[in-house]
């Protein structure tokens, strides 16, 4: 489906990963005048210089299409080259059905995405603290610049979920980005956090025109409430907790009890009426495990499958396990005997070689002597 201005999430990701907030960019003629009439803009001026902090604010809060173009041209040299970067990043994030042709979401039939792919992009972006702060900002004013001497460019967020003064304010909302074109209709990638769980909701194609803009916010609230009321984010296991105690083969009597630990936490989204006891893990332990074992070494893995999603972590040794002293002694003796056996074989081989050489010399000597005698008798005759 067409993503409209939710496209700007990816534009912001690349801006944050390729520039500092204090870096500057200059507004080109193209950046301003390729934005179609009726699309949002920040009233940027030709040859105006702005910082990336300013550009990102107007990109994400009022959804300024001219700001997106400025960012694209500054980072990649052209909007087309920037779109190529966007597509590369989308593939890196696991998006399989997304294709960008511009940085702002201005309608194009070859510019499309899916709800799932936009959720992946939104999730990735929300890992950036600067991005999180930007998309939760309600109001922003562009300061005086080299080409604009007033502070009347004041903008309100297009995301009513984060605005306490709007009719669709949601107390748990944390972002992210709205969008609208005639073809895409009303779109939003929204996020909300309650307790230790944060959800992302994506709605595309809501309502037949911009006047039904409220529908997407109401639907987000309905979906978020459903998620928070019916699911919980629970910890299946914690890093360094003991999974079980085992006795490896050949372990010394002092260190025979090995604590098998979880290497990392496993956190999963589960239904409220599910207890952790309902989930049976799949466990794989090294069948050839024997002492000595170093603390922290990976000795297996454990997996939980919930609603078709597999959660996995390694199992590690909780302490050093020493080999049994008897076993060590037997092993050393066996190695010495083996070494002596090899040495004996080598010496036998050498001795056989020497005997062969001696035999060969004697044989040659006899033959020579025999020929001389024969010649002598023959000559005498």
Residues tagged active-site: 5, 8, 63
Number of H helices, E strands in the chain: 9, 14
Hunting for tokens 């994400």 — which residue is that?
Answer: 60
Rounded to an integer, what is the distance from CA 313 to the centroid of its chain? Answer: 15
Count how many Cα atoms sit within 13 Å of the Cα of residue 54 in the half-sphere of its side chain.
23
What distance in Å separates the CA atoms of residue 36 and residue 40, rounded to the nearest whole number?
9
Q: Residue 330 CB: number of other CB atoms within 10 A?
A: 11
- DSSP assignment of 269-284: EEETT--GGG-PPEEE
- DSSP assignment of 23-55: -EEE--HHHHHTSPTTS------TT-EEEHHHH
Structural contact between residues 177 and 8, judged by C-beta atoms closer than 8 angstroms: yes
What distance in Å separates the CA atoms of residue 41 and residue 59, rounded to the nearest whole number?
9
Could you tell me which of 157, 155, 179 has the C-alpha nearest to residue 166?
157
What distance in Å separates the CA atoms of residue 316 and residue 263, rounded to the nearest whole number?
6
């Amino acid at each position: 489906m067409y993503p409209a201005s939710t496209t700007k999430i990816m534009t912001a990701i690349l801006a944050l990963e390729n520039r500092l907030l204090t870096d500057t960019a200059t507004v080109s003629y193209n950046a301003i005048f390729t934005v179609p009439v009726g699309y949002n803009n920040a009233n940027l001026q030709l040859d105006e210089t702005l910082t990336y902090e300013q550009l990102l604010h107007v990109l994400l809060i009022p959804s300024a299409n001219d700001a997106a173009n400025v960012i694209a041209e500054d980072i990649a040299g052209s909007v087309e080259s920037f779109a190529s970067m966007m597509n590369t990043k989308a593939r890196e994030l696991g998006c399989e059905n997304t294709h960008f042709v511009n940085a702002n979401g201005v309608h194009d039939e070859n510019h499309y995405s899916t709800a799932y792919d936009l959720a992946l992009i939104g999730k990735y972006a929300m890992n950036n603290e600067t991005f999180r702060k930007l998309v939760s900002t309600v109001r922003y004013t562009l300061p005086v610049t080299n080409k604009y001497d007033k502070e009347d460019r004041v903008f309100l967020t297009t995301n009513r979920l984060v605005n306490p003064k709007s009719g669709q304010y949601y107390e748990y909302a944390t972002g992210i980005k709205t969008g609208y074109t005639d073809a895409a209709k009303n779109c939003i990638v929204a996020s909300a956090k309650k307790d230790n769980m944060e959800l992302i909701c994506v709605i595309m194609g809501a309502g037949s025109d911009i006047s039904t803009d409220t529908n997407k916010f109401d639907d987000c609230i309905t979906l978020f409430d459903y998620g928070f009321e019916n699911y919980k984010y629970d910890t299946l296991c914690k890093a360094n907790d003991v999974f079980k105690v085992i006795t490896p083969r050949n372990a010394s009597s002092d260190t025979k009890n090995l604590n098998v630990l979880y290497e990392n936490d496993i956190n999963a989204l589960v239904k409220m009426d599910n207890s952790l006891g309902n989930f049976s893990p799949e466990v794989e332990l090294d069948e050839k495990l024997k002492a000595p074992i170093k603390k922290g070494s990976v000795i297996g893995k454990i997996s939980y499958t919930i609603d078709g999603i597999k959660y996995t972590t390694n199992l590690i040794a909780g302490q050093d396990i020493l080999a049994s002293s008897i076993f060590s002694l037997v092993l050393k003796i066996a190695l010495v005997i083996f070494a002596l056996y090899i040495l004996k074989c080598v010496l036998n081989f050498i001795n056989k070689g020497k005997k062969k050489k001696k035999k060969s010399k004697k044989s040659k000597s006899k033959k020579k002597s025999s020929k001389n005698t024969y010649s002598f008798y023959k000559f005498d005759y």
